[in-house]
Amino acid sequence: MAGLVVFAERVDWHTRSLLAAIRRHGRTARVISLKSCGFAVGETAHGLLLPGFADDLPEACFVRSVPAGTLEQVTARLGVLHALRELGVRVMNDARAIERCVDKSATTFRLARAGLPTPRTLVLEDRATAQMLVDAAPGDSVLKPLFGAQGRGLARLNPRAALPEAEAVGGVYYLQDFVTPPHGALAGAHEDFRVFVVGGRAEAAMARRGTSWITNIHQGATGVAVAAEGQLADFAVRAAAAVGAAYAGVDLMADASGRLTVLEVNSMPAWRGLYDATGRNMADPLAACLVAETVAA
């Protein structure tokens, strides 16, 4: 075993924060791009190509990002993460959790199986059938890209609104009932919650507030610190566990009656917005979890 690895494409604020937190624990980590990794069966002792490791393996790996690419490229990169886990290397988060969270339908299915409240969701390929479901919906529907992040590509549809052609949604229609804000909410005001979970603990939380129903920080919403406790924390921890994530950013929202519902689980969440809102840098608990569990192993 030869040290820790952070899989990242660039040494940005998040990566620098994580490396500094790891150093505070008396350890070091090297930054590697998954683009530079691969398989070397019959060439290295473990069958992988990991820059700087030769026949050694990392003690543990932290996945900050999996770079986009062709289906073949992404499959190969996730294959490396799968192989590391099978070789006994601890990976935060491993490929299984990443795959479950990237595919929103798999996330929703697992949330429901775990008994967590989540919006009614329909995922199918046939446009005509999807249109019938939108027409018959009890209220507005939300059309989401199956693979997407930061609030990009979302569309709110009124009943009987025309769906786009299949090519515009990658051939898959992912539809959820629109969650109506709680009664008494200010007109034009929207709010949801982001809870950051590390190692089965809700470390910090914020409310994201904006004038758009897409309450993402990258879409102009403002983060306000809230207590990471009670049902908000409980649902977030259970949601992370449902997808097998060692760390996660869990998005929740209160419905018209004030009941919390889980919207999404992010397996490679950013935390700069959370830091700005709460003053807590999630690099600290992330490093502590990575290092402590590595030592314990």
Domains and CATH numbers, the chain: 4-92 (3.40.50.20), 121-177 (3.30.1490), 182-281 (3.30.470.20)
pLDDT > 50? residue 165? yes
pLDDT > 70? residue 295? no
Q: How many Å apart are CA 294 and CA 4, to the nearest integer?
A: 9
Q: Say whether 36 sits in a helix, a strand or coil.
A: helix
The answer to whether 248 touches 265, Cβ cutoff 8 Å, is yes
Give the bridge partners for 264, in sequence order. 251
Q: How many Å apart are CA 151 and CA 200, to the nearest integer?
A: 26
Q: Which two tokens stand for residue 261?
A: 């519902």
| pLDDT, tens digit, 9 for 90 and up, residues 132-163 | 888 888 888 889 877 765 556 778 888 888 89
The torsion angle over the Cα atoms of residues 82, 87, 91 and 95, rounded to 10 degrees, is 10
| pLDDT, tens digit, 9 for 90 and up, residues 272-291 | 999 999 999 999 999 999 99
Q: How many Å apart are CA 272 and CA 14, to the nearest integer?
A: 7
- What pTM was computed for the model? 0.90
Give the bridge partners for 190, in sequence order. 210
Rg (CA), the chain: 20
Binning pLDDT at 50, 70 and 90, where does residue 185 land? low
Rounded alpha-carbon distances, angstroms, from residue 55 to 1, 40, 129, 222, 295: 9, 10, 53, 47, 21
pLDDT of residue 297: 41
Contacts 24+ apart (CB under 8 A), 132-139: 133/175, 134/159, 134/160, 134/161, 134/163, 134/175, 135/159, 135/160, 137/175, 137/177, 138/177, 139/177, 139/178, 139/180
Phi, psi of 91 (to 5 degrees): -125, 125
pLDDT of residue 210: 75
Higher-pLDDT residue of 184 and 160 is 160
* For the chain, percent of residues with pLDDT exceeding 90: 66
Give the number of other CB atoms < 10 A from CB of residue 198: 23
Query: Nearest CA to 154 among 272, 270, 269, 263?
Result: 263
Q: Which two tokens stand for residue 5?
A: 């690895």
pLDDT of residue 58: 95
Q: How many Å apart are CA 67 and CA 69, to the nearest integer?
A: 7
pLDDT > 90? residue 179? no
